[in-house]
Amino acid sequence: MSRTLPDLTADPARDHKRAVLDAGAVRDAYRRWAGVYDAVFGGVSSFGRKRAVAAVNRLPGTRVLEVGVGTGLALPRYRRDKRVVGVDLSREMLEKARERVAAEGLTHVEGLVEMDAERMAFADGSFDVAVAMFTASVVPNARALFAEMSRVVRPGGQLLFVNHFAAQDGPRWWVERTMAPLSRVLGWHPDFALSDLLDGEAEVESLEACPPAGLFTLVQVRNARAVQALAA
């Protein structure tokens, strides 16, 4: 069920010092995670991935970009008429994804490319849909990720994100704040907030809580910025 977009200007007392994530830290973290990622995270993240890919499959257009494709856990779930390109910063994770594509005969996957999601090599408007699953809290600059995904998706296309977003209060907020200094070791920001990704001008079409226990949220955004740029 969709939810009303929360106040993106709210800052839930997250005035602690956040550990800096850079591309090198992300590569190092996922070099460590690559061999065990599916076993450790595949189960808990599967609900969010299913929801995100189901949403992509319902959308018009065939050109799909998966940002932060990782080991390719979501790739078998896309409809075969979708033409999917995946990008990731981790060479080791991409190797696992390529093995999956070959083993399962995923002919709808047109490419798996090592690439920085904040500086992608694709031309403007190359895709109908871009989806980032559990990626927004991994990149050094989530706003740059959002801007780059907006650039490579056609005007009026869709951007989808499924991610953990920090609680604004309560015990979970305390745990997330306590874990925040470990960001470089973990490879993601435990205290990542929706306002770290979107500004108040983002045209959010839906917010959907995902199992387990609403820990993750599926966010769907219409690529309105590109539309506005063309109309200017």
| Domain assignments of the chain as residue spans, ordered by start | 23-231
Beta bridge partners of 219: 161, 207
Q: Give the pairing of strands 63-67 and 203-210.
A: unpaired
**What is the residue type of 6?**
P
**What is the residue type of 128?**
D
Ramachandran class of 199: left when φ > 0, alpha when ψ lies in -120 to 50, beta otherwise: beta
DSSP summary character for residue 2: B
Residue 216: what pLDDT? 85
Residue 232: what pLDDT? 46
What CATH number belongs to 23-231?
3.40.50.150
Q: How far apart are CA 10 and CA 195, in angstroms?
A: 8
Q: How far apart are CA 150 and CA 11, in angstroms?
A: 25
Q: How far apart are CA 209 and CA 214, in angstroms?
A: 5
Helix (H) or strand (E) holding 132: strand 127-133
Query: According to DSSP H, which parts of the chain are helical?
Result: 23-33, 37-58, 91-104, 142-152, 170-179, 183-186, 194-197, 224-231
From residue 146, how far is each of 158, 170, 199 by CA, in Å? 12, 28, 10
Q: What is the pLDDT along the chain (232 residues), one digit of tens a residue?
A: 334 444 433 444 444 444 455 566 556 555 555 556 555 565 567 899 999 999 999 999 999 999 999 999 999 999 999 999 999 999 999 999 999 999 999 999 999 999 999 999 999 999 999 999 999 988 889 999 999 999 999 999 999 999 888 655 444 443 344 434 333 434 444 567 888 899 888 999 999 988 877 778 899 999 986 545 444 4
From residue 60, how far is each of 34, 52, 54, 55, 133 by CA, in Å? 33, 14, 12, 10, 19
State CA 173 to chain mean position distance.
Answer: 21
Q: How far apart are CA 112 and CA 5, in angstroms?
A: 33
Q: Give the pairing of strands 153-164 and 216-222.
A: antiparallel
